[in-house]
Structure 1
Amino acid sequence: MDPISTKPQGECNVSIKLGMGFGSDEHAYECYNEYATSIGFSVRKKYANKNRVQGYVTSTKFTCNKEGYRNIDKRDSIVKKHRKETRTGCLAHIIISHQSNGVFHITLFEDKHNYPLVDPTLSYLLPSQRKIKVVQAYELDLLDDSGIRLKASIEYAARQAGGQSFLGYTKRDHKNYLRDKRQESLKHGLDDDSLITNVFWVDAKMIRDFKMYEDVVSFDTPYRTNKEYRPLALFVGLNNHSEMIIFGAAVLFEESTESFEWIFNAFFKIMSADKPQTFMTD
């Protein structure tokens, strides 16, 4: 019944055919993604049906990532610059079904796309192909712990892999990995080693100046000149002579949502102030 023998878990090739068998749904995804890499498109999971009693996957649909169209957002009517539509309604997909012998077979396969595919040499930039492997994660942790900056770190990792195309992830993925790692350890301004990660300070003059010139506040984190490469954040305003004055400053562990929530709450609590009329930030 199966025209192609089931591949052992972890072993794939770049051909996909109707009736092909896999040891698991995860293995099917890996092989379909490898096939997508070879011809230049990205993959995403559309749905997975499960057995209600035992909970195992009975069928799954994997599609081209340009399948369908983005849902209409009610907020679009008030947005001046809309996001570019990236989906094209592409119908390329496979559906795999769980058989009684435990093997997943491809029961439906559509291989035609309705848009020009990416050059396979650039497939590593596509979403489903970008992945930081466990070994690479250990390497990134070591580079980060050694104080190597992001740009030098990504260049080193690319050289180790034999080039950017063999790295398997982008600079943004690298940055996001380190951000997520730090967010896990960021708790109440302390890291796992009980070291201070967020520091905010003001003095009496800053508080007095804010009371007088609080109408417009600018906030930004453009500076990373300290040894640990931490963002230096400044709350800045203008006095009646159009001179720049500082209302407060902070060294942040990272530019994360948690860090910004913490510093904004700390700032307005110390200043005993409501939100200013105008607040400018990047």
Structure 2
Amino acid sequence: MMFDSIDDAVIYYRRYAKEKGFAVAKRTSKKGNDGVVRYVTIACSYPGIKRTKSTNPVQLKPQTKTDCKAQLRLSLCPNGKWILRSMVLDHNHGLSPSKTRFYKCNRMIEPHVKKKLELHDKAGIRMNKSFNSFVVAAGGHENLSFLEKDCRNHMEKVRRSHLREGDASAMHHYFLKMQADNSEFFYAMDFDDDGRLKNVFWADARSRAAFKEFGDVVTFDTTYMVNKYEMPFAPFVGVNHHGQSTLLGCGLILREDTNSFIWLFKSWLACMSECPPNAIITDQDKAMKKAIEIVFPNARHRWCLRHIMNKLPKKFKGFKDYESIKFCMKNVVHDSLTKEEFEESWGRFIKKYQLESNEWLLGSYDERHRWVLAFVKDIFWAGMSTTQRSESMNAFFDKYINKKTTLKQFFEQYENALAAKVHNETVEDFNSFNSRISCITIYDMEKQFQSAYTLKKFTDFQNEIVGSICCSLSSCKEHDNFSEYEVHEDISHREGQRSVIFHVYFNEDNNKVNCKCRLFEFKGIVCRHQILVFIHRKIYRIPDKYILNRWNKNIKRRHTKIRISYDNWSLKPEACCYEKMCNAFYEVANLAVDSENAYKNVMTHICEMKK
């Protein structure tokens, strides 16, 4: 036989081997005096004598060497073609045509599959799910020309090629690209004396615009780790008009010390035009606390209530009255409506369980203005008591990042995560525009909030209307320019139902209503006790000052007008050609699928084009 090239000979022998049930490889080649390859041997992949390298006789690795002699030998002819000079067809091992797809020489990933794998990786789709999609499309594993391992190897190779410049350099190029696309993109990088990257902060144009809308209250948490480098991911998270978490910038820091936090907070402050947040929620980190006092001296700083209460098992698990101590402390913290009530209840709690010398409780009491609800509910916190917003943002990023994620990949996936957040907000904007929740009362105040608030925030208000069923006015005291109402609310309790008294103050001059529960101050939602007083006073339309722009669905938010650009593969020339061809193929398939003649005609043309 004659072949135009060695590659043609390898392809031919490989096709033969696939039918018979073995694997082949190009084994040897010999050059002539002129330096040109003139002799080539293509052989079965089982040649050679098996050798054992392991020194442990009970941990031997499987061997594939059988010293098989099956082979083809070819030589170069004067006309440039290759001729088959000799061959051995017999093998000294078993053959299995049904298993040949597992041999490496028969495994091949087509270019379009590689593109899909890379797109799936960018979209954050895990490899097992990505591979299963190919299995389903092919009608079974046996119809695929590659294994899941081949897909993983391909993506590892792609990722390694991305990292040739180095992560810090690639990150810098990414920042420059984003800034060139939109001058409002902000970034800062902090290097040590040796030029190594220490800390980094960035915020895209949309996050900066969103801060102007929702930057009054921010949560900050560093418990999430980019595990490959163990650099804490530090997102600044706010709450949008739907009650969703929104990203207001983020950083990666090398160490969780005061200097790193000071650098990060100053970078964020510079990004936000030197406008600090009104309030910030963090955990009890001392370095973080010190940095906030330096960079945000006028911001109200509070600690995550859940973090503190979760420490109770650790602090009191060994106590005989542990369950009772835990239950009592939670009641003191959650049920005290005023500072005075807390001080009184706390004193009884300490005395009852003889905890006067407990250092953790003493320290917590000294910082009570940072975490006890009665001390913090006097200002707006968008309803947040914990850093759960930051933690939910971390959990959200988990869909896109794993422990092997490099910094370069992290920024690519950050864009995907941000795009998903933008999409979720856009969907909620549409839902609030396109649909509404029916009113359950006849009062105009409910219609006010129905037409003004987003669906989520209208639901919060409606819950307060429903909750007013459990409330009753018991007394009213008239003063010079205001009335004091006593509202009793029946509350479900672990030990049964109990009645709690709330004092509501109504000013007749300006229709201002203040409630002891401070829900409106804390969450921006009129409480059930205020609603009851309004109805009692026959004020069925609530004053505009109680309808916050922050939750209003009718306001055009500036951050929604910001264009965000992504480094999309589909913008590249070869990708455009590929997409156009695919779309054309799909269009033809749709036209031909209902006709047997058309189907055969199309397939004939495709086969000719493939040749």
TM-score range, shorter chain: 0.5 to 0.7
Check conservation: 1:122, 1:165, Cα contact below 8 A: no
Paired with 2:170 and 2:134, the residues of 1 have a C-alpha distance of 26
Structure 2: segments with no counterpart, 5+ residues: 175-199, 201-225, 232-254, 258-396, 409-611
Letter of the aligned partner of 1:107 in structure 2?
R
1:149: which partner in 2? 126
Paired with 2:400 and 2:33, the residues of 1 have a C-alpha distance of 51
Write out per-residue CA displacement over residues 232-252 of structure 1, whole angstroms, 9 at most, x where no aligned residue: 6xxxxxxxxxxxxxxxxxx54
Task: Using the TM superposition, give the Cα deviation of residue 26 of structure 1 relative to its aligned residue in structure 2, in angstroms.
Answer: 0.9
Identity of paired residues, percent? 23
2:398: which partner in 1? 226
2:156: which partner in 1? 179
Structure holding more helix per residue: 2
Paired with 1:141 and 1:108, the residues of 2 have a C-alpha distance of 44
Seen in structure 2, the aligned counterparts of structure 1 residues 148 and 92 have a Cα distance that, compared at 3 Å, is: same
2:7: which partner in 1? 26
Paired with 1:146 and 1:158, the residues of 2 have a C-alpha distance of 19
The one of 96, 103, 107 aligned to 2:81: 103
Would you say 1:161 and 2:100 are equivalent positions? no
Paired with 2:118 and 2:170, the residues of 1 have a C-alpha distance of 14
Three-state SS of the structure 2 residue aligned to 1:77 is coil
Task: Using the TM superposition, give the Cα deviation of residue 227 of structure 1 relative to its aligned residue in structure 2, in angstroms.
Answer: 2.1
Paired with 2:398 and 2:85, the residues of 1 have a C-alpha distance of 58
Write out per-residue CA displacement over residues 15-43 of structure 1, whole angstroms, 9 at most, x where no aligned residue: xxxxx111100111111111100111011
Three-state SS of the structure 2 residue aligned to 1:230 is coil
Seen in structure 2, the aligned counterparts of structure 1 residues 25 and 228 have a Cα distance that, compared at 3 Å, is: same
Would you say 1:37 and 2:18 are equivalent positions? yes
The TM-score normalised by the length of structure 1 is 0.61
The one of 62, 72, 77 aligned to 2:42: 62
Check conservation: 1:41, 1:123, Cα contact below 8 A: yes
**Could you say which structure has the greater relative contact order, defined with CA pairs below 8 angstroms and 6 or more residues apart?**
1
Write out per-residue CA displacement over residues 79-104 of structure 1, whole angstroms, 9 at most, x where no aligned residue: 86221221111111111111111111
Letter of the aligned partner of 1:114 in structure 2?
N
Letter of the aligned partner of 2:126 in structure 1?
R
Deviates more, 1:102-111 or 1:141-150: 141-150
Letter of the aligned partner of 1:28 in structure 2?
A
1:87: which partner in 2? 65
Check conservation: 2:31, 2:38, Cα contact below 8 A: yes
Supply the RMSD in Å over aligned alpha carbons.
3.2
Seen in structure 2, the aligned counterparts of structure 1 residues 227 and 79 have a Cα distance that, compared at 3 Å, is: farther
Paired with 1:35 and 1:190, the residues of 2 have a C-alpha distance of 50
Task: Using the TM superposition, give the Cα deviation of residue 178 of structure 1 relative to its aligned residue in structure 2, in angstroms.
Answer: 0.5
Write out per-residue CA displacement over residues 144-190 of structure 1, whole angstroms, 9 at most, x where no aligned residue: 22222111111112233343222211111111110111011124335
Seen in structure 2, the aligned counterparts of structure 1 residues 122 and 185 have a Cα distance that, compared at 3 Å, is: same
1:16: which partner in 2? none
1:15: which partner in 2? none
The TM-score normalised by the length of structure 2 is 0.29
Three-state SS of the structure 1 residue aligned to 2:84 is strand
Task: Using the TM superposition, give the Cα deviation of residue 117 of structure 1 relative to its aligned residue in structure 2, in angstroms.
Answer: 0.8
Seen in structure 2, the aligned counterparts of structure 1 residues 25 and 149 have a Cα distance that, compared at 3 Å, is: same
Seen in structure 2, the aligned counterparts of structure 1 residues 253 and 179 have a Cα distance that, compared at 3 Å, is: farther
Write out per-residue CA displacement over residues 106-160 of structure 1, whole angstroms, 9 at most, x where no aligned residue: 1111110111112x12211112111112232222222222222111111112233
> Whose radius of gyration is greater, 1 or 2?
2
Matches within 5 A, 1:178-197: 178-187=155-164, 188-190=166-168, 194=173
Paired with 2:128 and 2:77, the residues of 1 have a C-alpha distance of 48
Paired with 1:253 and 1:37, the residues of 2 have a C-alpha distance of 42
Seen in structure 2, the aligned counterparts of structure 1 residues 126 and 190 have a Cα distance that, compared at 3 Å, is: farther
Task: Using the TM superposition, give the Cα deviation of residue 105 of structure 1 relative to its aligned residue in structure 2, in angstroms.
Answer: 1.3
Letter of the aligned partner of 1:100 in structure 2?
P
Paired with 1:52 and 1:253, the residues of 2 have a C-alpha distance of 52
Deviates more, 1:164-173 or 1:181-190: 181-190
Three-state SS of the structure 1 residue aligned to 2:86 is strand
